[in-house]
Homo-oligomer: A and B are copies of this chain.
Amino acid sequence: MRIFSYQGRRGKGVGVMAGDTRFVALAEAAPDLPGSLKPILELPDGLARARRAADGKPGEHDISEIVFLPPIEEPNAIWALALNFKLHIQETGLTTSDKYPHLFMRHAGSLVGHGQALRCPPFDVSHEHDYEGELAVVIGKGGRHIPVEKALDHVAGYCPFNEGSVREFQRHNRNFGLGKNFEESGSIGPWIMTPDESGDIAKQYVITRLNGVERQKSTLSDMLFTVEQVIHYLSTGYRLRSGDIIAMGTPGALPKPAGEAHDPDRQRGRHKVEGKLSMRPGDRCEVEITGVGVLGNPIAADEPVAYRVG
């Protein structure tokens, strides 16, 4: 099941995809379910009821009528992993623990949904607004001290995630801080794919395309820490809540495509990686998780640097 949050003409809702462009609105098919996804995930049978309500229905609505929102609008926490793919660790030359997942946090306002514009800072703020194609895990059933062998019982599903990063700010200090948290600098969506349909997630691929050209492609089996291991570690100290997001880290870059000219303006930064480009307004970036879906966002210029209240 592909379940998502949307803004329609008459308000927000939760939908279930039926085919490529049609969807079932749960407000019509299951009016007894809560009107947003986090409280649905908090119900022990929330996803099962959504599935039963949508099952076999043709989909009365078309996705052209709606705007995709981040699947969970206000998660209690958005955790993200640094340096969790072996090739990415090599290409950056950075070191990370091989015993403990490398975690940091993002705030919800740093993310937009599928189809919405990612905001690229003006040059007087940054030249390096970079994509990071990632697998995001959405927590269904919460818990604490979750053993590895129970971890997947706590997963509601998976989404593509673009962990958009502003590199200059990320390098200001040891903790990434603001560099991972610019307003609307990243994205998540379009939907949550439930594990019964994604198959074994470690056998899927993460692929990032900038303006249609593949820039990252890696099997999810290249992760240093698996989904199960990260859930286990995190739950040692943190009580996982329904709707929490864990972005599993980004893979290395693909080699520069044959014949592509070197673009020094888009390849600044400390860690020169041949096939990696920073994003620019007018670009389009896609993150695909095979078996899950494709998250696509245009890149637009962020507001100019000017004092604004509110």
Please report A residues at the B interface, Cβ cutoff 8 Å: 76-77, 82, 94, 96-97, 99-109, 121, 125, 141-147, 150, 166, 169, 172-179, 181-183, 185, 233-234, 236-239, 241, 303, 305-310
Contacts and interface: CB of A to CB of B under 8 A. Distances in A.
24 contacts: A76-B107, A77-B109, A97-B172, A99-B172, A101-B173, A102-B173, A105-B107, A105-B177, A109-B239, A141-B310, A142-B310, A143-B310, A144-B307, A145-B307, A147-B307, A150-B307, A169-B236, A169-B237, A174-B174, A174-B175, A178-B236, A182-B238, A183-B238, A185-B237
Total copies of this chain within the assembly: 2
A197 to B, nearest CB: 24
Contacts of A144: 183, 303, 307-308
A96 to B, nearest CB: 6
A170 to B, nearest CB: 10
Contact of A175 (B82, B121, B143, B172): B82
B310 A178 contact: no
Contacts of A233: 178
A265 B94 CA distance: 34
Contacts of A310: 141-143
B82 A236 contact: no
